[in-house]
């Protein structure tokens, strides 16, 4: 029987082609000793380090659960909300300018809901008056619909 070549390591950060931070992987002895360990991208998979990695993993999972619960609460709040944005209009009810994701994020901030403009998904700026359903991506898997009224100023 041949001895298994390579070494077991725990990744401290994402390494392309190997895995994400916290993953336990087998690598070639030279790659581990000469590259990953000296650059602090990984640690040797000793029993102590394995326990620490397990604790970190549990802590991260707990943190993710809390983030998801908070995101679900925020999504529920956003679903129930309706914001009104007023704009100047000219002849034929044509709006001057357009309503962008920045405008919507700013209106939400005024209501006490902190959303980044990159979380507001509108295909193109809104140039008409009326009611619009705007998707807000609160978390990776959680999207909420916000009612946005665009009215005459």
Q: Do 60 and 77 share a domain, yes or no?
A: no
Residues 6+ apart with CB under 8 A from 62: none
Within a domain: 1: no
Cα–Cα distance list, 140 to 39, 112, 119, 127, 152 (Å)? 31, 22, 10, 28, 35
Q: Do 59 and 75 share a domain, yes or no?
A: no
CB 83 within 8 A of CB 40: no
Q: Do 114 and 63 share a domain, yes or no?
A: no
Distance CA 79, CA 67 (A): 18
pLDDT at 37: 93
Within a domain: 2: no
pLDDT at 4: 60
Give me the CATH number covering residue 100: 3.10.430.100
Q: In this predicted model, what pLDDT tens digit does every residue of 46-102 receive, in sequence order?
A: 999 999 989 988 998 999 999 999 999 988 988 888 999 998 888 877 888 889 999
Q: Do 89 and 140 share a domain, yes or no?
A: yes
Longest distance between any two alpha carbons in the chain, whole Å? 86
Q: Do 45 and 75 share a domain, yes or no?
A: no
pLDDT at 147: 93
pLDDT at 13: 92
Within a domain: 142: yes
pLDDT at 1: 47
Domain interval for residue 36: 7-67
Distance CA 73, CA 67 (A): 10
Q: Do 60 and 87 share a domain, yes or no?
A: no
Give me the CATH number covering residue 31: 3.40.5.10
Q: Do 35 and 54 share a domain, yes or no?
A: yes
CB 27 within 8 A of CB 17: no
CB 12 within 8 A of CB 38: no
Residues 10-25, mean pLDDT to the nearest whole number: 91
CB atoms within 10 A of CB 23: 15
- pLDDT confidence bin for 153, thresholds 50/70/90: confident
Q: Do 51 and 80 share a domain, yes or no?
A: no
| Residue 34 scores a pLDDT above 90 | yes
């Amino acid at each position: 029987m041949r001895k298994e070549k390579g070494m077991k390591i725990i990744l401290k950060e994402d390494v392309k082609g190997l895995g994400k931070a916290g993953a336990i992987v087998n690598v070639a002895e030279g790659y581990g000793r000469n590259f990953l360990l000296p650059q602090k991208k990984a640690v040797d998979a000793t029993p102590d380090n394995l326990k620490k990695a397990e604790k970190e993993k549990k802590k991260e999972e707990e943190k993710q659960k809390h983030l998801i619960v908070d995101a679900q609460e925020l999504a529920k709040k956003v679903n129930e909300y309706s914001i009104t944005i007023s704009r100047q209009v000219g002849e034929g009810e044509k709006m001057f300018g357009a309503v962008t994701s920045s405008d919507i994020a700013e209106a939400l901030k005024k209501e006490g809901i902190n959303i980044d403009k990159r979380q507001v998904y509108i295909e193109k700026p809104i140039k008409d008056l009326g009611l619009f359903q705007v998707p807000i991506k609160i978390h990776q898997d959680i999207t909420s619909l916000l009612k946005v009224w665009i009215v005459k100023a």
